[in-house]
Amino acid sequence: MNSKLKEFISKYYRNWGAETISNSGSNREYYRISYSKDKTLIAVYSPNSNETKAFLHFTKVLENAEVNVPQIIYANKNDNIYLLKDLGEISLFDIISTKTTKYLTKHMLDLCKKALSQLVYIQFEAANKIDYDKAYPTSRMDMQSIMWDLNYFKYNFLKLTGIDFDERALENDFLNFTGIIMQIKPQTFVYRDFQSRNIIVNNDELGFIDYQGGRKGPNVYDLASFIYQAKAKFSDQDRANLISHYFNEVKKYISNYNRKTFKRDLKFVRLLRAMQTLGAYGYRGIVENKPHFVQSLDLGIENFIQALDDCRNELLIFPEMNKIVDEIKNKYRTKNTETDTDNVNVVRETPLLLEIYSFSYLKDDIPTHEKHGGGFVFDCRCLPNPFWKEDLKHLSGLDKNVKYYLNSKQEVNEFVNNVKNIINQAVSDYYDRGHESLMISFGCTGGKHRSVYCAERIAEIYKKSDKVKVVVKHLQRKRW
């Protein structure tokens, strides 16, 4: 954690613990801070002062317009550090990714429509008082900034993956394509990264985060970001439903909004967003070797192919872009149709059984999985031991006072966060491949405090997923 951020938090809170929040797409640091029983906030350090100023300004404007954004608790603009209200841990993506068929449930669809209604309100009303001179890195989606995105795609995807192209011809296509994007109306506040991971759901109330890159631009850009988010995997039917809902919401502000023009604009902006996203996947995945982006490359490529295919009739005047998509199809679709029996996704109707154990290294054998002997075993003896606290020694990891003590320790929160990151891949893979169960075990000296606490923390995370059925077993419980 940044030393100035530590000092800043300690200025306001005497006892606190920090859990790192994964943010693989930027250089900002995010932490969930526990500072009292069941009370948390979000601490942020950004290395970019202009980005910090933009975020704080946008937050104030949107908060004044009664949009549910993270309230600023304390901020130090000079050091680029600030503390925010914690809107919650569950994103809209977490919810919609638990669907067991290709279609959203009614509840999921209603949440998505609610998000788009809020987006229209933000674009056409809430953001009216934004000072775009404070936006970063640019105040609007002008020719320069659109070309940034297109060249990001060219240099960080096309060149890194060895796609052959005529650079001069592609540059001419990009310039003409940029001209089309700049003609799209209306121009509103563009959230820039309006997608389901950046929408928090708490008791069906929505909260909005990660809008620091906002600027003025074509309103449909945010719609494209949302409905064509590669990993969201909306069905054509659900996507059409959401597009229609967004259009009808905009009509409340622009009565003569033309549906035919709207659909054409959405096609073009979808393609721009797909290229920008592939550039990001290429840079973060290929250059920085970040697993989340490596895993997303195939989905991003398919999204780009579909986006360009959808524009074929309109893009006949862009020959090099058409040539590129044909080469990408040949290269990647051929690769992805090769048979790999170990990576076949299975359509399943039952959740994955996640068996979570706590045990004592002194009194128990290490638990083993009955079916395939696999799973994970985590040693919690490296963590602070409540046993040596007189007022905690006779309690267990299920008791509030022990939870509060361990919550307040940064090393404990880092340990749990690291465990979560390790097992996430296995949970997802086991589910997709049709395995019945996965075993996660936590051990400590007596099997009463640390192992129990960690088992319960991990269980709480996965109890929120429809993909997983969680069973927790504390092997030493009868002896407490």
Task: Give me the pLDDT at residue 106, please.
Answer: 94
* Sequential pLDDT tens for the chain (480 residues): 888 999 999 999 988 888 888 765 678 899 999 888 778 999 999 999 999 999 999 999 999 999 999 999 999 988 999 999 999 989 999 999 888 788 999 999 999 999 999 999 999 999 999 999 999 999 999 999 999 999 999 999 999 888 989 999 999 999 999 999 999 999 999 999 999 999 999 999 999 999 999 999 999 999 999 999 988 889 999 999 999 999 999 999 999 999 999 999 999 999 999 999 999 888 887 887 776 677 678 888 888 888 888 887 766 678 898 888 888 888 876 554 443 434 444 445 678 899 999 999 999 888 877 555 568 999 999 999 999 999 999 999 999 899 989 988 889 988 998 998 889 888 888 887 778 889 999 999 999 999 999 999 999 888 877 788 899 999 999 888
Angle, in degrees to the nearest 10, between helices 167-182 and 143-153 = 140
pLDDT of residue 349: 63
Query: Would you state the pLDDT for residue 337?
Result: 44
The alpha helices in 101-198, defined as continuous H runs, are 106-124, 143-153, 167-182
Phi-psi map region of 50: left, alpha, beta (phi>0 left; psi -120 to 50 alpha): alpha
pLDDT for the residue numbered 341: 37
Q: What is the pLDDT of residue 128?
A: 94
Q: What is the DSSP string of 132-153?
A: GGG-SS-SB--HHHHHHHHHHH
Looking at residue 191, what is its pLDDT?
A: 94
Radius of gyration of the chain (CA): 24
How far apart are the C-alpha atoms of 28 and 26, rounded to whole Å? 6
- pLDDT value of position 338: 42
Is the model's pTM score more than 0.85?
Answer: no
Which residues, including other chains, have CB under 8 Å from residue 62's CB and lie 6 or more apart?
69, 122, 126, 127, 208, 211
